[in-house]
Every structure is written in C-alpha cells, then in structure tokens.
Structure 1
Amino acid sequence: MASGNDIEKGQVNGSDSINAERGGINVGQLKFTLNTSLWEADSPLPFSCCIFRVPEVLRRRKVQAYEPDIVSIGPLHRSADPKFKLVEKVKEWYLKCLLERPTTTITLDSLIEGMKELEREARGRYSDPRNDLDQNDFIRMLILDGCFLIELFRKARDESRQDYDDPIFNAPCMLEYLYHDLLLLENQLPWSVLKYFYDLIESGNPGAEPLSKVVIDFFRDSVADPSIFSDRKSESTPEILHIVDLIRTSLVQEHKDEPDEDPKAAPLPSNHLPQRIPSAATLTEAGVTFRIPKEPKAGSPGGCILNITFKDGVFSIPPLAIDERTDPLFRNLMAYEQCYHSCTHKITSYAVLMDNLIDTAKDVDLLCEKGIVANWLSSEDASKFFNDLYDNTTVIDFVYKRLCTRVNDYHRSAWMRRTWIRWKNKLRSDYFDTPWSTISFFAAFVLLVLTFLQTVYTIQQYRHSPN
C-alpha cells in the first residue's frame, strides 16, 4: 500500500492507494511507464534493413546452415568465441600489411574518417544493430572486416599478392570454410563499406575490375558448377546491398518471366500456389520428355537456372550441380528472400518446383540421366535436399504458376493418349505385323460390311413386302 509520504510527494493519489490496497493497478505509475516506453519506441525493422538474423522457424530446421565456422563478419556473430580467434588475428595482420605496403597512400586516419561517415548508414542496414557496441567498437569492426574481405578477394585473384606465410591460402580447407561463412545472411557487411575500401585500395590501379566481378569470380569456386553465376551487367543498377544480395542477383538476373497466355484470365492471389505437379518419374510415364536447354550455360542467353519451360510435353530444365555446399547457399538465399521487403521469391519458387519434380531417389536418378542434375551426394540425400529446402517458407508471386497449370493439364489428358497408344500398338502387332495379315484384316472387314449391308437390305425388303 502507498505510504503517506508517497501521497504527499504527488506520486500517487487517493484512488491509486485504494486500488493498490485492493490488489489493483497503480494507474499513474503504469501511465508513466507506458509513456516512457512509447516515447522511445521505434520500428524494430527499419526500411533500410537488409542484413537479418534468420527467423527461428527457418533456423531450427538446420542450424549449421546459418552459423559461421571460422570467421565472424559484421556485428551479428561478433563474440570472443575461440573458433574465430585465428581469423581475427589474420584480419589484424592483413590490415598491418596493407598499411605497410610501400606503394600505399592509405593511413589509419583515412580509414577511420571514412568509416565515421558510413557508421550510421551501416548500422541501419542490420536488423540487430548491436547497440552494445559503441561507435569506436563498431568502426573498428568495419575497418578490420572490410579490409580483410577486400584483401582476401584481391589475393585470391592474383597469387603474386599472397604472402608466403598466409594461413588462408596455405591451408586448403580454410578457403572452403570461408566460402561457407561469407555466404551466410547473418555474416555480411554493407556493400557501401566494401566499395569504399575497394576503391581506396585500388585507387592507383586504372585497370581494376569492378568489385562485383571480383567478388563473383571469388565465389565461383564455392559451388559445384561455376557457370550458374553470371556477371552483373552494371555496377550501379540495381543497387547492391551485400554479398548475398550480389550472388542472388547473379543467379536470377537473366530469368525470363513467361508471358501471360490468357490476359483475360483472372489473376491468382500473390500467395497462391497451384496444385503440385507430379514427380519426374510419374511425368515420364505419362509421356513427358526431360532435357536441358540448347544453351545451358548461365553466361549465355536463357541459361539462368530459373529459366525452366514446358511445351508440347517437353520439360526443359537448365542443369544444376549439387553437393554439400549447395544446401547452405540456397537456404541463405531463400532466408534473404523471406526477410527483405524488395526481394521477389524467385529462388524460393525454384525450390518449390524442384521439390515437386523430385520426390524420391528414382526422380534424382532420372534427372541425372538427362544431364539436368549433376549429383555429388547420394540419390537419397539429394532427394532429401530438395524435399526439405523450402519447409516453413512463404512463396509470394510463385513464378511457375502458368507452367504448373500446363503440366497438370497435360498429365490429366495423358491417360487418353496412353489408352490410344496401347490400342494402336496392339492393333498393329495383332493385325498388321505382315502383309498377309493386313490383307486378311481388310478382307474380313469388307466381308463384315457386306454382310451388314445385306442384312439391312433384307430387313428393308421384308418391311415393304405386301402381306
């Protein structure tokens, strides 16, 4: 119960005291608390956010697909975890080598001043800006992580830049771990930060490649088939947000949306998924043919892995190589599509369609025979990869709606075609396998017709004869 002193101080009034005595609420205190929290409230996900913590509903399906193994980039996994200790030392060593390079004009002062200008923007890119990191800690992180990444990409591109005692390039496993870690959604730096350091470091090199090409070339060795990545046509359009955004763009930028065959048809809801299509093995039994496009390479027109077509019973699917690295790549790309407001669900749509086509190891084997899937896993693991990939995701504007409708229409009419084919084959084998059997068939047919006509004539003659 409130004391008399509290009332005298104006903290509560008489009714508040009575409410407190009766086990009620202190209205004044509650109002003050709510006003304070509302005054400080802001959107937990500002429009500028593009680097997210993966939603728990996705993470719990396969935690290791979203967690870094040896390096933390950005604030979301910044910690004193011993597994990051080696690469944290490499970051400091790379920065030291950069500053001591004989030809460099870069100073620690210039790096700090540059990051002071970008620090506020960079924080706004994260769904969790780690406000426990003050400005000094955040800027230190941006400098160490950004310079490390740019030096890593440059060293990988030109072996002459690699130091004799560089642990990243002396231990073959290190690059494999880095490929995994640097393609995680939670392990990103804003592109503006990377671009600043790259332009600064390459300022004296007029022949320097665009940063986007340097990054894509680095990650070509991170996948079983490097041709799935296509070079960006422009450095500025659309805006690059981070490395995962760049990799996704390189996969989907050549995707061609199918034209609407019936513009008068009512559009389906954006979150509508059509009926599942049968598996590859079932469609093959219905007469569907699977093949790769004539120009399957990602760098050629129409070579994007998303450019899947179905016409006249022919499924045309660009090839995809899968191994143990494919799963975390696709999961993080799909997590990005699920979280970022300006991302179309193209990779997620691809995962849904491939899951439709692949139900069992038999479907994997069939697509492998056709050259559509290059599988470095077991057939069972490959089918499980596709079956589990898009669990708990949402698909908005599924890009294969019309294709699935055509496939299902074709499959529904397949039984009529199969019945006709079986009847035709049986007729050919039973009655037309030799010239004599063909002559006998037609002779019997003519005799049957003549007999029928004679019967009709006899009936007509009987009906019209006088009684």
Structure 2
Amino acid sequence: MESERKINEADDSISMESIVIDNDGIVEKLKNNIAKKLLYDSPLPASCCIFRVPHQVRRQNVQAYEPDIVSIGPYHHGRCGDQFRLMENVKGWYLQRLLSHANLTLETLIKGVMDLDKPARNCYAEPLDHLNKIDFVEMMVLDGCFLIELFRKGLSILEQDENDPDDTDDPVFSVSCMLGYLQHDILLLENQLPWFVLERLYNITAVKNTTSEGNAIFLADLVEHFFRQFIGGDGTGFREILHPSPNILHILDLMRTLIVVPIENSAIENSVYQQNEAQRLIKRQRLPNVTTLSEAGIKFQKSSEMDIKFEKGLLTIPPLEIHELTGPLFRNLIAFEQCYDYDLMMTSYAVLMDNLIDTSKDIDLLCEKGILTNWLSPEDAAQFFNHLHSDTLVIRFYYGGLCDAVNQHYNTNWNKWMEKLRREYFGTPWAIISLVAAFILLVLTMLQTVYTIHQYYHPPE
C-alpha cells in the first residue's frame, strides 16, 4: 500500500510539473500554426501521373529533362527566353488553323474543355497555385491544340499531301532541326498534358480524322506515326496494342506502352516478383559483358520480338537505334517508372544492357550482329548505357530468370572449353587445314610406330 501511495504521489508531481502557464499565448499560437499545416487529403493523390523528375535522377543529366524550344503543360509554362518565343507564336498560329479547318469557334472550343480544369490539375504531383482557372484552361487549349495540329501535319506530310499551301511557311517542318527538338521536348516527363485533355480537344476539332483511304484515325495512331523512329517497325504491329485503346495517361506513357506491352505479353516468366531477399535480387541483376559471354560460347542474335530471351546458348535481343534523342527518351521513361506505380520494365532493360555493355568492344560486337545501330561513337554509346539508370532503384527486376540461365551457362566449364577449341582450332580455314594436317600427321606417326614395333617383335623370316 505504501509503495502504491508513493507512485501516485510521483504521478501527481509529474502532472503538476507538466502544466504550462500560457500567459503569453504561445500554445494558442502554436496550435493555430500547426492547424494550418494539417492535411485531410493525401498530398499525392492516386490520380497523379505527371511528376517533376526527382533531384537524385535529374542531377545525372539535367539537359535530358529540360525542354529546348517548347513548354507543354504547367511545369514549364511561361518560360522566358528567345528559344521558346518562336513556338509560343506557332501555338497561336496552329490554333487558328485548327479552328479554320474544323469550322469551329474559339468559344465552342473553350466551353468544351472548361470542365476538365480540376481533373487535369489532379494529374500533376505538384500544386499549381500559380495558375488560376482562366490561365490553366488557356494553357490546355493552346498547348493541346498545338500538339494535335502538329501530329496531324506530321501524318499529312507522311502521306505526301501537297494540298496545304501553309506547309512551306511552317517553321516546324521547313527548318530541319526543329522537328528533332520538338520530339525531344514532347517526350519529357515534365512536359506532359493528361491524355484525356488531348482526346477531348481531338474529338471537338474532329476534321480529317481519316486517312486518304477513308480509314478512321485515332489520336494514338497520330502520336505513334509521329514518334515511330523511336520504336522501330512499320507500325503494323501496334494496332493490336492501341485498339481497343489502353488506359493511356499521357504521351510519354503511350510510348512506354508501345515498347513494354509486347514484352509483358511474351515471356512473363522472366519476372522476379517472387524474390524477396535483397542480396539475392542484386545478384540476379549481374551478368558478364558481351565480349566475355561471347568467349564462353554464348551467341547473340537480333530478335524479331520485343523481348530479350535466352535459349540453348543463344541470347536474342531486340534491335535498338542509338542517337542523340535515345538517351532523353529512355531517361524520362525510367524517371516515370521511378515515380509512378508501374513495373520497372524500362529500368530493368537499362540495368541488363549496362551489364552487357562495358566498353566500345561490346558495342562493336552488338552492331556487327545488327542488334544496335549506333549513330554515336562506340565510346559514347558505351557510356550511354553505363550511366542510364544511375541513382535509380530496381526492387522488381524483370530479367532475373534470364540472368540466372545465362550465368549458369557461363559458369559451365565445358561450354568455355568447347568455345576455346572452336576459336583456336576452327576459327579460320587455315586453322582447320592446320588441324586436319596435324591429325593426319599424328595418325601416320602412330601407324609407323605400330609397324616398327610389330617388325621388332615379329621379324620377317
């Protein structure tokens, strides 16, 4: 009883000491300050799909994430500088042409997208307090119509439609470097408009939404035509992906869909989702480079599919063209995967290629096999892969099963011995001739030895 009384007295003492006399109103001030910072909704809603590139990723190559000549969306809206002024004027010109072609008033166009203000804002990971509703809707109309007219003109030129007299005055298509700069800028993660905004504007301005043969053209078709050089092929394999239209978030997401969906559909057994041990996961991301694997007997071949596969000592890899715009595209796709809840397919590809390519010798070997088409120097191409995924985290590595199979083949000594024998004795016609001659000489020497021994023990009578 005495011990309980002492404990109660101690508790009362602590309680009395913890009472603060708020003569200066400090507690009330703190309460008000903290109350202003309370959030009842998540600061990053589930609808967010357009992000600022994280600093840790951006610092590796700042230019890969910054627009060169045009701002799309709110993040770079209002950027000053002579390099942006021309495209701002082109936006107004393209909008006027689009309204003229569609026989549409500006009032009708604006009313058609006014209700998209709030849902479009919710797609951005940062608050857009610097843009009120009027400014935001104006941005959607100008930027969105600019993209739609740009894609339509791209298809028109592809079909060699010469009925548009304004093409000769168009700085985008008459100045050779402009198109490349625009393709770079439109594929930046920070330079995106929500896809549903583009689709609404495309449907409102529905004019000439058919090919010269009368086939319907969807917005995704226009975008795929415009960026076809980045994904290769003639476009015939993409219609199954685009129609019915997948749940596209924005243009960069569409590009990822065209690249990744065939991979997801072809060999999902390569995934490593069942791996939980971090050390085991890191180990499955390691491979010797192309030159080392080649010396161990592993062959390389250009794949007709979009996935990387390994069977019976043959590693098939889809072709890739490396040029000045490849790096920014891959970097922004990887940054998008790091921010959004997606499987890390592009990041896994970057890790795998980084393993396979260490030096210019590896680049040369893959170019010889037709897997790479390199417009850079071999040294720059090797550096491109070596730094592509720096400061990123791969917690779900897609090619874990493939790496296991390749490493098992590589670590089998028999495969190394057979490849060494093939290279040293069957690598050239002269080596084969020398080996055959040596074999014949060995057989003749053995026959002579046998004959001599036989003569010694069985001399003729």
TM-score when normalising by structure 1: 0.80
1:268 equivalent to 2:275? Answer: yes
1:239-254 matched pairs, under 5 angstroms: 239-254=247-262
Q: Deviations over 1:19-73 (max 9, x none)?
A: x6xxxx92222122112221x4532211001111100101110000000011000
Distance in structure 2 (CA, Å) of the matches to 1:49 and 1:416: 50
Instruction: Trace 1:158-307 onto structure 2 (pairs within 5 A).
Output: 158-159=156-157, 160-161=163-164, 163=166, 164-202=168-206, 205=209, 207=214, 208-221=216-229, 223=230, 225=232, 230-233=237-240, 234-255=242-263, 256-258=265-267, 260=269, 267-269=274-276, 272-273=281-282, 274-293=284-303, 296=304, 303-304=305-306, 307=307
Relative to 1, partners in 2 of residues 1:31 and 1:289: Cα closer, same or farther, differing over 3 Å?
same
Which residue matches 2:105? Answer: 107
CA positional deviation for 1:232 = 4.2
Post-superposition offset of 1:366: 1.1
Contact map agreement 1:154 1:161 (CA 8 A) in 2: no
SS of the aligned residue for 1:403 comes to helix
2:238 match: secondary structure: coil
Q: Give the drift of 1:437.
A: 3.3
Partner of 1:151: 149
Matches within 5 A, 1:14-53: 15-17=21-23, 26-38=26-38, 40=39, 42-53=41-52
- In structure 2, the CA distance between the partners of 1:205 and 1:438, relative to structure 1 (3 Å rule), is same
Deviations 1:217-244 (A, max 9, x none): 01124x4945599524244542011100
* Structure 2 unaligned blocks of 5 or more: 1-18, 158-162, 426-433, 455-461
Which residue in the other structure is 2:120 paired with?
Answer: 122
1:177, 1:445 → 2: CA distance? 84
Aligned partner of residue 254 in structure 1, secondary structure:
helix
- Aligned residue pairs, count: 413
Partner of 2:335: 335
How far residue 204 of structure 1 moved from its aligned partner, in angstroms, is: 6.7
Structure with the higher fraction of residues in helix conformation: 2
Q: For residues 132 and 162 of structure 1, do their structure 2 counterparts lie closer, same or farther at Cα, with a shift above 3 Å needed?
A: farther
Task: Give the TM-score normalised by the residue count of structure 2.
Answer: 0.81
- For 2:418 and 2:207, the matched residues in 1 are separated by 71
Return the offset for 1:182: 0.4
Mapped to 1, the partners of 2:415 and 2:205 lie a distance apart of 67
Amino acid at match of 1:258: A
1:314-356, Cα deviation, whole Å (9 max, x unpaired): 1111211111111001001111111111x21111111111110
Structure 1 unpaired stretches of 5+: 1-12, 297-302, 447-467
**2:408: which partner in 1?**
409
Which stretch of the first structure deviates more once superposed, 192-201 or 229-238? 229-238
Displacement of 1:165? 1.9
Deviation at 1:433, TM superposition (A): 4.5
Equivalent AA in structure 2 for residue 91 of structure 1: K
For residue 278 of structure 1, give the secondary structure of its aligned residue in structure 2: coil
Call closer, same or farther: CA 1:123–1:260 in 2, change over 3 Å: closer
Identify which of structures 1 and 2 has the higher relative contact order when contacts are C-alpha pairs closer than 8 Å and 6+ apart: 2
Report the CA distance between 1:14 and its aligned residue. Answer: 7.7
Q: In structure 2, how many angstroms separate the alpha carbons of the residues matched to 1:335 and 1:408?
A: 29
Going from structure 1 to structure 2, the CA distance change for 1:43 and 1:282 (only over 3 Å counts) comes to same
Aligned-residue offset at 1:291: 1.4
Distance 2:308 2:452 in 1: 51
Equivalent in the alignment of 2:160: none
Deviates more, 1:56-65 or 1:235-244: 235-244
